[in-house]
Amino acid sequence: MFNRVNMRVKICGITQTEQAIAIARHGATHLGFICVPQSPRYLTPAALAEITEALDAAGVVTKTVGVFADASLAEMVAIVRRANLSHIQLHGQETPEHCQQLLAELPGIFLIKAIRVRTAADLLRAETYAPYVDALLLDAYHPQQLGGTGLTLDWDALVSFKPACPWMLAGGLTPENIPTALATLNPDGIDLSSGVEQHPGVKDLALVQHLFEQLQPWLPISAEV
């Protein structure tokens, strides 16, 4: 079961200011924003900065995660600084060396490396990143899409996955299957996108509320839904 104090609940692919504020107030500890132009959930740097500024103005306390895939170091640094992001998630083919360069350029940033899992070899590869990142994220593999696919992982194959850093479970999670996932695995956090959407980039706040109702056994005692 989750550590009730340090549990992470990330809702990713947010594109609307009002939804960002509402989702954070429901209890999301992390809000994810897609910085990959090919994605249907893409946000321009200006739009992303508007949302993070609005979160700050509303007094919302949450972590803000920019999701990149094979972006240049200069591009990531510029967007992080413009939008005052607290976290970066790398969802491409970035190497451990790229991770080291990013951390050197942005000291204090929290770095998540996403790995799309297709075989046991991908789990072994994920563990090689542990010394260079703050957390890992396991997502389902899709040949064309980097994330938000709705595909689930083989949870039974992940039971023995215990890297040397925190890790988050993604890949086709929904309010309905979250209890089974968390009864099977012991991640340090979860990441949902399509599982709480009306369509790409537009979240369904009723599903978000249902998610946090389902998460009650795993939430910190003091959390409010």
* pLDDT tens digits for range 69-123: 999 999 999 999 999 999 999 999 999 999 999 999 999 999 999 999 988 899 9
Instruction: Tell me the average pLDDT of the chain.
Output: 91
Mind listing the domains of the chain with CATH numbers? Answer: 8-216 (3.20.20.70)
The confidence score (pLDDT) of residue 198 equals: 96
pLDDT of residue 141: 58
163-192: pLDDT as tens digits: 999 999 999 999 999 999 999 999 999 999
Q: Is the alpha carbon torsion for 125, 38, 147, 216 positive or negative?
A: positive
pLDDT at 220 over 90: no
Q: Which residue among 12, 35, 99, 191 is the active-site one? A: 12
pLDDT interval class at 225 (50, 70, 90) = very low
Predicted confidence at residue 151, as pLDDT, reads 73
Can you give the pLDDT at residue 2?
43
Please report which confidence band the pLDDT of residue 4 belongs to, taking 50, 70 and 90 as the band edges.
very low
pTM: 0.91
C-alpha angle 96/89/22, rounded to 5°?
165
CA–CA distances in Å: residue 54 to residues 38, 61, 76: 25, 11, 21
Express each pLDDT in 35-76 by its tens digit. 999 999 999 999 999 999 999 999 999 999 999 999 999 999
State how far the alpha carbon of 197 is from the alpha carbons of 6, 43, 169, in Å. 25, 16, 18
pLDDT exceeds 60 at position 197: yes
**Which residues have CB under 8 Å from 7's CB, separation 6+?**
29, 188, 189, 218, 219, 220
Catalytic residue among 35, 99, 139, 191: 139
Provide the pLDDT for residue 146.
52
pLDDT at 170: 95
Residue 135's beta-bridge partner residues?
Answer: 112
pLDDT digits (tens, 9 = 90+) for 33-45: 999 999 999 999 9
Decide if pLDDT at 143 tops 50: no
Looking at residue 70, its pLDDT comes to 96
Active site residue 156: no
User: Residue 219 — pLDDT band, cuts 50, 70, 90?
Assistant: confident
| Residue 35 among the catalytic residues | no
